[in-house]
């Protein structure tokens, strides 16, 4: 296994609500990326954090935000949920000394009704 865990596994929200998804990675993995995977599509990069600072962002609006904590955990927050936000949300951690490899968690399946 990758050592990356995510919670919850599944989540159902209604349009307009806010959601927080959580990720936990291993010690020594100071970089974490979040991806959105719509049904039948490849993962799309949302943003990346390194040592608690956002250092990169994909083409996602500001209502997608994140936090990274010193204990190698992180959060993805989505405000004002839209139907199109329904997707599998993946976090991936990158070991400090192994930049090539991104270890993905199992994902959180978010359904927005």
The residues binding another protein (CB under 8 A) are 2, 4, 31, 33, 35, 40-45, 48, 50, 55-56, 58, 90, 92, 94, 99-107
CB of 43 to another protein, least distance (A): 5
How far CA 100 is from CA of 80, 87, 94, 103, in Å, comes to: 34, 26, 8, 10
Nearer to another protein, 49 or 112 (CB): 49
Least distance to another protein, CB of residue 112, Å: 19
Nearer Cβ to another protein (20/37): 37
Residue 22: asked if its preceding bond is cis (omega within 30°), the reply is no
We find the least distance from the C-beta atom of residue 36 to another protein, in angstroms, to be 11
The CA-atom distances, in angstroms, between 7 and each of 61, 65, 94, 100, 101 are 23, 17, 19, 25, 22
Give 58 or 67: the residue with its C-beta nearer to another protein. 58
Q: What 8-state DSSP symbol labels residue 72?
A: S
Measured from the CB atom, the residue of 36 and 81 that comes closer to another protein is 36
């Amino acid at each position: 296994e990758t050592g990356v865990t995510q919670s919850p596994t599944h989540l159902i929200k209604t349009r307009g609500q806010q959601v927080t998804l959580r990720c936990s990675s291993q010690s020594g993995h100071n970089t974490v990326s979040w991806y959105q995977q719509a049904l039948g599509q490849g993962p799309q990069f949302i943003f990346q954090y390194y040592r608690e600072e956002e250092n990169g962002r994909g083409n996602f609006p500001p209502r997608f935000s994140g936090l990274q904590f010193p204990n190698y955990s992180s959060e993805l927050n989505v405000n004002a949920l839209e139907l199109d936000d329904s997707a599998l949300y993946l976090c991936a951690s990158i070991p400090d000394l192994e930049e090539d490899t991104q270890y993905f968690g199992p994902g959180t399946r978010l359904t927005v009704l």
